[in-house]
Amino acid sequence: MRAPPHWPNAWQNPFIQDPFEIPLERQLELLLTADREMRRIKGVTLAETSMQFRRLEQWYASTLGSRIHQVKMQSGAGIMAMSFAGDEIQKRSYPSSFGGQHQLAGYELITSLDLVSHAARVGEEAVALHSAVQCPEGQSTIILESSQLGLQVHESIGHPIELDRVLGMEANFAGLSFLTLEKLGKLRYASDIVNVVADARLEHGPGLGTFGYDDEGVPAQCTNIIKDGLFTGYLSNRETAPVIGLSRGGGTMRAESWNRLPMIRMTNVSLQPGTWNYDDLIADTDDAILMETNRSWSIDDHRYHFQFSTEIGWEIKNGKKGRMLKHPSYSGITTEFWNSCDAICSRETKRHAAPVAEAHLPTDGELRGLAERILRLSDADETEVEIDAGSDALTRFANNTIHQNVAERNLSVSVRTVFEGRTARATTNKTDEAALRRVVAASATLARSQPKHPDLLPMLGKQKYARVVRHFPETAEATPKGRARAVARAIGVAAAADQTAAGIFTTGASVSALANSRGLFAAHRQTRAEFSVTMMESDSSGWAKANSPDIKRIDPAELGASASRKAAASRAPREVETGRWTVILEPAAVLDLVGFLFYDFAATAIRDQRSCFNKRVGTKVMGDNITVRDDVTHLLQTGAPFDGEGLPRQQVLLIEQGVLRNLVYSRASAKKMKTKPTGHGLPLPNEYGEAPYNLVFEGGTTPVEEMISSTERGILLTRLWYIRDVDPYEKVLTGMTRDGTFLVEDGRIAGGVRNFRFNQNILEMLSNVELLGPAVRAAGEESFEMVVPAMKVRGFHFTEVTKF
Amino acid sequence: MMQEWANLALDTARVRGATFADARVVDIRLRDLSTKNGEVGNLAESESLGLGLRVIANGCWGFASTDRLTREGVQACAAYAVSIARASALAKRLAESLHSGPV
């Protein structure tokens, strides 16, 4: 490819007010006012607000002669109210959920959002939802408000058009796409009023996908994705553009930071405005449901079968907005959905789809020296220093070849100061004297600029910790060559079976240290090795993944062989009926479901009434055969033996034979709830309190083979995908099966079946466990690693079956 | 200064045998505020500066990054990126069709 023509080499997004110049006190005061306004509404049990600013300055140079300097300023904010009553948690957010709205803009965006004026309404609606009518079931016309529509575009258009995904480069994790190459210029993606562009140019607006040049030096462009309903374009980069006959890259390569490899990421993928005025649209509608603000989203790995739910809905009857509806949710198939699009409103408020060398890690002596240097620079009442250093290397492969092989190292220094009961933290990765002075001063300014922290306790002094061995030199010393050889072995398995392999092999080492002005010093060192592989045939796939601090426990050839057997055995999948099934969940499938429970065990989640265990402490919540501990010392666990404040982590019995016995506590939440802390606190200050990061589910003795031989008719599940919370109190989760779903008949595997969507109450599932396998260290994608067994469960609820 | 680190990374990669390289020096400043039930939840400022380098050598991609912006740090990072690309060539196969041409 030729070098793009000469271009001007500086770009900055316009903004009016630099958010870093606005005093913190003023920003905090705004949030606290909105917070107070929400809590003035009777029935609001939890109010949260947030604001974030990011300034990124980048110098780009390439051997093709590019020299580009860019500055991007980004701002965002949002508020959320929850109400817990009866057996329901209801929630409302503004201007959108999950952190609010973010744009390439300055502080003027925050001013225009006017959070305070919307706070009371947000609180009122959260409370009113308890008495709202349940959203009816069935086929219906729906109207999506703009932020939910933005998500619909992002998930069912933005992701499937990513060309790296289409070409199989993301098959192991992010997944594939139903938009295979022969569909370009042929597929009726949508009804003919639908026009979608991917536009990174400034004239399109201040979306997060706006820039002057992408991260491989290609200028911003506008690409037609859907033109009058016809599918016309992909998101491409320099490497993939020739595959679809383009002479230059699509300009979509972006990296999150300097230590990330650029990849194809959505620019502003936007539905072009239509002609309807919003009020006229409502007036013209006889019977529909209006849905507002996303609550959960889940879509299969081909981006075809989706299920979205929103915080609130409204009946539209005879042109009028009627009763409020709770738990609105809709599901569908991407192309059917977009081909049924009848009307698009005009631009009211426009939104965008949101879219080395190894490896000297500091020794304990060096960590101590650095911490002491920082402690000496501080004149605070108390000072805490957290140092994290790591080096990671990742080899990614797809289509039977290595396509990414990357490495990074980083060191971060975080300083927390306390002045008269006020505390705050500042972080840097620069360790020269001037930068250390700056980070200490920033922490002091932040701390002094805020109200007293009511729960703040004096810092801890010296502590004693359990000894855990989690650093293995063989893992720390793994080389790119070693990883490439291991990958080549797995690819060899694929080639021999006429299959295609995709996956990752990661190795790394990290160290973290905590020190404070009262003499506490804690340090933890560990290594990590992880191998994940997907093997594909034309109509089936198989998957396997393992993770351990010790690389010797990872066998890529064996994992490859296991995935390969699954792909072969699930060939020509048949369709079986939805409904309640007996299922056998392999450990990875169990992990990704039970992982959703981890924060529910936090005492702060109970106090905030956001846990599914609200009012259930001491009661039977699962079957007799379920016992769960949090245990950092377990041989299959990883992580530091101290928490975010330096307190030793204790073993906690959470569930004993189905009964919820204990929670985990930080120092502050233990004091509030008049009990002892368990050593599970998060670094301060934080709003979440604590969490158990070392869950261990007690296993049984039945191997998966015996679960199969004891089953007359059931489904065997390898892994699950895109799991989301549908109902936080009943803990109903939805998601898809993936990469190895089998019918079991008369005690034997009868062949592969088409994948399912499930909607399953997880506490009910854990009450219906018939058999347990031995507990193993399981690795998935939705949850961090835990120790869990395989399970045979009765009455597991499949609600939909896919078309592939 | 930042421009010089980017240039040094490119030069080192070329000397080591890369046929293509691009470097990004990125300086990020972040401010994060949040509240929960009338109390300050999070109040944080952070800074992060480093260099990431992509290369093609032996027809394969390599990437490495570092936060050590010194002559030695940048040169070691560039050399490492090239050695990673060469290691990738061990499992090439289908790579030719996609990767062998210039970018």
Q: Is A59 on the interface with B (CB under 8 A)?
A: yes
Give the CA count within 13 Å in the CB-facing half-sphere of A474. 9
Residues of chain B found within 8 Å of residue A425, distances taken between Cβ atoms? 43-44
Residue of A49, A63, A412 with shortest CB distance to B35: A49
What is the C-alpha separation between A681 and A644, in angstroms, rounded? Answer: 5
Chain-chain contact of B36 with A59 (C-beta, under 8 angstroms): no
Q: Note the pLDDT of residue A741.
A: 97
Q: Note the pLDDT of residue A173.
A: 80
Structure tokens at A799: 């609600």
Q: Is B18 on the interface with A (CB under 8 A)?
A: yes
Contacts of A393 (CB under 8 A, 6+ apart): A358, A405, A406, A407, A408, A478, A480, A483, A506, A507, A508, B84
| Same-domain check for residues A66 and A144 | no
| Same-domain check for residues A172 and A218 | yes
| Same-domain check for residues A743 and A786 | yes
| Same-domain check for residues A557 and A514 | yes
Residues 668-707 in A contacting B (C-alpha not used; CB under 8 Å): 685-687
pLDDT, average across residues A473-485:
88
Instruction: Locate the chain A residue with the closest alpha carbon to B31.
Output: A53
Q: Which residues of A715-737 are buried (b: 16+ CB within 10 A; e: fewer)?
A: bbbbbbbbbbbbbbbebbbbbbb
Q: Note the pLDDT of residue A520.
A: 97
Q: Is A485 on the interface with B (CB under 8 A)?
A: yes
| Same-domain check for residues A60 and A145 | no
- Using DSSP bridges, classify how beta strands A401-419 and A422-428 pair: parallel, antiparallel or unpaired: antiparallel
Give the CA count within 13 Å in the CB-facing half-sphere of A583. 26
Q: Is A400 on the interface with B (CB under 8 A)?
A: yes
Chain-chain contact of A356 with B39 (C-beta, under 8 angstroms): no
Chain A interface, mutation test: which of B37, B60, B100, most A Cβ atoms within 10 Å? B37
A to B CB pairs, distance under 8 Å: 291
Instruction: Locate the chain B residue with the closest alpha carbon to A683.
Output: B42
Q: Note the pLDDT of residue A804.
A: 64
Residue of A36, A411, A488 with shortest CB distance to B67: A411
Chain-chain contact of B25 with A59 (C-beta, under 8 angstroms): yes
Q: Is B8 on the interface with A (CB under 8 A)?
A: no
Kindly report the average pLDDT of chain A as a whole number. Answer: 92
Contacts of A380 (CB under 8 A, 6+ apart): A417, A418, A419, A443, A444, A447, A517
Chain-chain contact of A453 with B39 (C-beta, under 8 angstroms): yes
- From the number of C-beta atoms within 10 Å of its C-beta (0-12, 13-18, 19+), residue A23 rates as exposed
Q: Tens digits of per-residue pLDDT, A643-684?
A: 999 999 999 999 999 999 999 999 999 999 999 999 999 999
pLDDT at A534 over 60: yes
Chain-chain contact of B80 with A357 (C-beta, under 8 angstroms): yes
Chain B closest-CA separation from residue A51 CA (Å): 5
In sign, the C-alpha dihedral spanning A186, A191, A192, A197 is: negative
Structure tokens at B20: 């293509």
pLDDT at A561 over 80: yes
| Same-domain check for residues A28 and A160 | no
Q: Is B28 on the interface with A (CB under 8 A)?
A: yes
What is the C-alpha separation between A247 and A242, in angstroms, rounded? Answer: 6
For residue B65, the cross-strand partners are B52
Q: Percentage of chain A surpassing pLDDT 70?
A: 97
pLDDT at A769 over 70: yes
pLDDT, average across residues A523-538:
96
Chain-chain contact of B37 with A262 (C-beta, under 8 angstroms): no
Chain A closest-CA separation from residue B64 CA (Å): 4
Chain-chain contact of B93 with A491 (C-beta, under 8 angstroms): yes
Q: Is B1 on the interface with A (CB under 8 A)?
A: no
Angle, helices A364-377 vs A433-448, to 10°: value is 60
| Same-domain check for residues A182 and A278 | yes
Gyration radius from chain A CA atoms: 27
Q: Is B15 on the interface with A (CB under 8 A)?
A: no
In a domain, A531, yes or no: yes
Residues of chain A found within 8 Å of residue B12, distances taken between Cβ atoms? none
Least confident of A302-306, A384-388, A403-407: A403-407
Which of the four pLDDT bands, split at 50, 70 and 90, describes residue A170? confident
In a domain, A590, yes or no: yes
| CATH code for position B73 | 3.30.2290.10
Residues of chain A found within 8 Å of residue B14, distances taken between Cβ atoms? 63
Chain A closest-CA separation from residue B72 CA (Å): 10
Least confident of A333-337, A448-452, B78-82: A448-452
In a domain, A423, yes or no: no
pLDDT, average across residues A35-39:
97
In a domain, A434, yes or no: no
In a domain, A443, yes or no: no
Chain-chain contact of A481 with B66 (C-beta, under 8 angstroms): no
* Other Cβ atoms within 10 Å of A2 Cβ, number: 8
pLDDT at A5 over 80: no
Q: Note the pLDDT of residue A419.
A: 96
| Same-domain check for residues A718 and A750 | yes
Q: Is A67 on the interface with B (CB under 8 A)?
A: yes
In a domain, A188, yes or no: yes
* Other Cβ atoms within 10 Å of A6 Cβ, number: 8
Residue type, A530: E
Residues of chain B found within 8 Å of residue A262, distances taken between Cβ atoms? 24, 54
pLDDT, average across residues A386-405:
89
Chain-chain contact of B33 with A59 (C-beta, under 8 angstroms): no
Instruction: Locate the chain A residue with the closest alpha carbon to B19.
Output: A63
pLDDT, average across residues A578-589:
98
Q: Give the H or E element holding residue A426.
A: strand A422-428
Q: Tens digits of per-residue pLDDT, A194-232?
A: 999 999 998 888 889 999 999 999 999 999 999 999 999
Q: Tens digits of per-residue pLDDT, B23-67?
A: 999 999 999 999 999 998 888 889 999 999 999 999 999 999 999
Residues of chain B found within 8 Å of residue A424, distances taken between Cβ atoms? 43-44
Q: Tens digits of per-residue pLDDT, A744-759?
A: 999 999 999 999 999 9
pLDDT at B96 over 80: no
Q: Tens digits of per-residue pLDDT, A777-795?
A: 999 988 999 999 999 999 9
SS3 of residue A563 by DSSP: helix
More confident residue, A270 or A354: A270
Q: Is A164 on the interface with B (CB under 8 A)?
A: no
Q: Note the pLDDT of residue A364.
A: 87
| Same-domain check for residues A56 and A186 | no
Residues 241-270 in A contacting B (C-alpha not used; CB under 8 Å): 242-243, 255, 257-262
Chain-chain contact of B65 with A356 (C-beta, under 8 angstroms): yes
Q: Note the pLDDT of residue A163.
A: 94
| Same-domain check for residues A331 and A473 | no
Residues of chain A found within 8 Å of residue B83, distances taken between Cβ atoms? 480
Which residue range(s) make up the domain with B56? 2-99
In a domain, A3, yes or no: no
Number of structural domains found in chain A = 4
Structure tokens at A606: 């109970």
Residues of chain A found within 8 Å of residue B27, distances taken between Cβ atoms? 56-58
Residue of B38, B84, B92 with shortest CB distance to A32: B38
In a domain, A524, yes or no: yes
Q: Is A709 on the interface with B (CB under 8 A)?
A: no
ipTM value for the complex: 0.92
Q: Is A405 on the interface with B (CB under 8 A)?
A: yes
pLDDT, average across residues A411-415:
93
Q: Note the pLDDT of residue A8.
A: 52
Choose the final residue of a domain: A87, A109, A131: A131
Chain A interface, mutation test: which of B28, B53, B70, most A Cβ atoms within 10 Å? B28
Q: Tens digits of per-residue pLDDT, A314-370?
A: 999 998 999 999 999 999 999 999 999 999 988 754 333 332 334 568 888 889 999
| Same-domain check for residues A767 and A669 | yes
Instruction: Locate the chain A residue with the closest alpha carbon to B99.
Output: A239
Q: Note the pLDDT of residue A402.
A: 87
CB A564 within 8 A of CB A626: no
Number of structural domains found in chain B = 1
Choose the final residue of a domain: A534, A568, A602: A568
Chain B closest-CA separation from residue A173 CA (Å): 20
Residue of B45, B81, B91 with shortest CB distance to A488: B91
* In the block, residue with structure tokens 């050695």: B83
Q: Note the pLDDT of residue A105.
A: 93
Contacts of A134 (CB under 8 A, 6+ apart): A325, A326, A327
Residues of chain B found within 8 Å of residue A359, distances taken between Cβ atoms? none
Residue of A404, A426, A429 with shortest CB distance to B61: A404
Which residue range(s) make up the domain with A466? 374-416+456-568
Give the CA count within 13 Å in the CB-facing half-sphere of A614. 19
| Same-domain check for residues A390 and A469 | yes
Which of the four pLDDT bands, split at 50, 70 and 90, describes residue A98? confident
| CATH code for position A24 | 3.30.2290.10
What is the C-alpha separation between A665 and A672, in angstroms, rounded? Answer: 10
Chain-chain contact of B83 with A480 (C-beta, under 8 angstroms): yes
* Peptide bond connecting A160 to the previous residue in cis, omega within 30 degrees of 0: no
Q: Is B72 on the interface with A (CB under 8 A)?
A: no
For residue A625, the cross-strand partners are none
Residues of chain A found within 8 Å of residue B99, distances taken between Cβ atoms? 239, 403
Q: Is B44 on the interface with A (CB under 8 A)?
A: yes
Q: Is B96 on the interface with A (CB under 8 A)?
A: no
Residue of B2, B43, B49 with shortest CB distance to A424: B43
